[in-house]
Structure formats: structure tokens, C-alpha cells
Amino acid sequence: MATEPSALQTLDGVENTPSFASLTVESGLVNLRATLDSHRLNPNPASVFAVHAAAHRLAAIVAAMPRRLRESQAAFEVLDTAKDLWTAGFVSTEPEAGDIENATNGLRHGWPGIVAAMFRTPCWAWANSPRLEEVPDWLWGHFMQWVLTPPVGAGPGVADKYVARITDYLWELAGWMERNRGSEAVRAAGNAFLDHASTPLLLQTTRDLKAYSTARGRLVAAIAYTRSGDSEPDALSRTGRPLRVGVIARDFADSADNRALLPVLRSFDPARVELVLFVENAGESQIENAFRQTASAFHEFPAQRAARLDLCARVACDVIVFAGDVARATDEFTGLALQRIAPLQAVLPSNPFTTGLPGVDLRLVGEATAEPSTERVALLPGSGLAFNADEAAELPPATRSEFGLADTGAIFVSAAHPDLLSAEILGAWSRLLCAVPGSSLVVILPESADPVLVGK
């Protein structure tokens, strides 16, 4: 990296005035913005080096800013440019040892040292990054943006480091949100979490996500201001009636998850299970009509959460199943999963990991993919996924020539979403193909796959 200027660290007199410091910072900002623009137009190793060098020069200038410039226009311009830097992917690689040392040493200079460190190193790579309570409250929003911005195209082990590091911050932020959710600083930090709550990097870690999910669930509940005891439905007598099971979905459109869910619901015995469906976004698709035919009642949710909860209370289900991902999403659907709607509440295998939500009691998951969970676990055969065998039987058989494959040799097939293709998985595939001479790998991608991720 380029040598960092140090002249500002000993300036005094007129050169240490706010006006001079602001001019010096502006010069560094112009340089970094220009290199970022050039990199975006033509990304290459040289442009990456130039951005890193410009960021380090600006970091040295920021570290020497007078502390009295806190909450100044110059300080916020620096923070906005830092956010541009992180968004452009410059939190994705391991920093040099000197960067970590400079970041740690700079903490004694107060907020300028903290902000300078945010240009030098990603949070996930810095074990001694300051706790939230050690950061000035006016910085909390930008600080948490830096903490939570996920690395892009991460190398082996990076996803694990990222998840481990942010888990500590989610625990801390959850405590602040529970104690003082009206604080502007706490709300800014919470908004930073919501910006990055669904990062695909969570699907690439090899870590047990129970600790992360527990911290996340506590934080989401605090943000939504969910209080235990707000609604506690009583268990109803089952004498002379079937079990009333409600399934809540964002939609019943044609999707992989819904195609897997439909045959499961069709297998229910109406004499034993009364099936009730609730949906946020209704449509007129063929598959939604098939869902309607499986149920004794079909309800479209009103817009307001209070009205939705009132509808659920009137229907009075014994069991509620959330047919959608609430482990990563932070939408109104997840908001319902935070509430106590039925005596027993469950989620399906469409949740890629445990939810951590206090309102979810049971997680249905395949026995082949079971992992530590915050909920009780109900094991399903194999992967826990169901497919419509009748529909599959109507499809013509696939052939080797259709995929451009040789007439002989083993074929490995994956239908994993690109979000799941971590460096560890790609490495395992490579070793597997090398170990089986003449073998081929067919990767079937969903239509919704991001073409940028596919290209990588």
C-alpha cells in the first residue's frame, strides 16, 4: 500500500484550525472519489490498488482531524464516501498486518481514529474493533453499516469470520434496542442492520448459525417492539373435531417452495386435519387455484398487522405454519412470525437455517440436513423436500447430448442457488471432479439467479 502521510499528526497553530482541516480532508475525498469512479468504469488490479492507496491516504488525513469537528459537514462527507467504498466491495479482502496495527493504534485518538480505521480494514477481519458502546452515538449508524457490510466474492473462511464478528454486535445492539429504542443513535444502528439483514453470505458459512440467529431474533423482536404476552391464544378443545392447521404464506405463486409444499398439503387427511390458508398477495395462477382446492378456507390478509392478527384470532387455529423464509427476511410476513397467533407455531424447510424468533416453536427440517436450532426440531425424511411425482412423470427424460456431455462418465448434478456457492463448495466440487476422471458437473440455475453471481 502507499505510504500514509503523517504531517497532519503534528500540525499546530493555523494549520490545525477546522477550516484548514476541512480543506485537507476535501482534497483526500476528491482523490478517493476519482479513483473509485475510474475503478467502476474499468475494474482491474491496477484500479483496485489505486483505490486502496487513496483510501489509506484519506485514512491518515482523517486520523489527524481535530476531535471538535465531530458531526461537522466534513465528518459526514467522509462517512458518506466511506459508505461508497464499502458498497463498491472494498471490505472483501484480508487487510495487511500494518492496517490492523494502525487501526488499533488509532483508537486512542477518539472518533477520528475510529473513522480512519473504517477506511483501512473491514470489521470482520479486525478482532479488536471497538464495541458499539465505545463509539460516539452520532457515529452509530455509519459504524454499523461498516460492521455489517458483507464482503463480495469472499475467499475461503471469510464468511465464517464475518458471521462470527457480526454476531457479537447484534447481541449488543439488541440490548440497546430493548433499553432505549427511541434513541436516534439506536434507531440509526437498527436501520443499518435492516439494510444488511438478508445478506447471501449467511448461506455460505460453515458455522453453526444458532448463536447468530438467536441474536438476530432478539434484535428483530426489539425493533418490531414485540412483547411477550401481547396475545396468548388458549389451546382449544379437540373433542369431536379435526386439528385446525393454518398455513400463512407471502403468496401461493408458482415457485420451487410452493411446488414442494403443495403435495404435502394434499396428503393431509381431511378427517384429521382442517386446513386453512392465509396469504399476503393473492393471485389467479393455476397453482394458487390448486392450493385453494386443498383448503377448507382461504383468507387474503388485510394490509394492517392489527387486522391480520384479529383475523387469525377469529379463525383460531391450533397450529400455524409459516410457509416462507423468516430466518433472513425482515418484512411484514416475518413480523407476523414474531407474534403468538396459535398455541403451536412452526416453519418449513424453506428456512435455510434456524430462525431465532421467539414466536416459532417448531422447525420442520430434513433429517439429512438437521442442525442445531433455537426451535424444537421435527425431522422429515431425507432433505425434507417434497416433489410432485405426477408432474415429473409427464416431463421427457433428460439426455446427455441435451447438456453437451460425453456418452460415458459420471455426472454430478446440483440445483443450488448461486448465493450458496461459497469458495468452500466450489473447492469441494473441484476436488470431487478431479478424483473421478471423466466426470462432469451440471449446475441447474433458477430463472431468478443474479446474472452477476452466475458470471462469477
pLDDT digits (tens, 9 = 90+) for 313-337: 999 999 999 999 999 999 999 999 9
Answer yes or no: are the C-beta atoms of 170 and 219 closer than 8 Å: yes
Distance (Å, rounded) from C-alpha 160 to C-alpha 208?
9
Over residues 226-255, the mean pLDDT reads 82
Per DSSP, the residues of 344-379 read EEEE-TTSSS----TT--EEEEETTS----SSEEEE
Is this prediction's pTM over 0.85? no
The predicted structure's pLDDT at residue 132: 96
Distance (Å, rounded) from C-alpha 152 to C-alpha 451?
15
Going by pLDDT thresholds of 50, 70 and 90, the confidence category of residue 7 is very low
Distance (Å, rounded) from C-alpha 263 to C-alpha 195?
35
Distance (Å, rounded) from C-alpha 269 to C-alpha 445?
35
- The set of cell numbers assigned to 355 is 430462525
Q: Is the pLDDT of residue 291 over 70?
A: yes
pLDDT in tens, 200-222: 888 888 889 999 999 999 999 99
The predicted structure's pLDDT at residue 23: 64
The predicted structure's pLDDT at residue 447: 64
- The set of cell numbers assigned to 221 is 423482536
Distance (Å, rounded) from C-alpha 372 to C-alpha 366?
13
How much is the CA Rg of the chain, to the nearest whole Å?
26
Over residues 130-138, the mean pLDDT reads 96
Higher-scoring residue by pLDDT: 24, 228: 24
Per DSSP, the residues of 307-335 read HHHHHHHHH--SEEEEES--SS--SHHHH
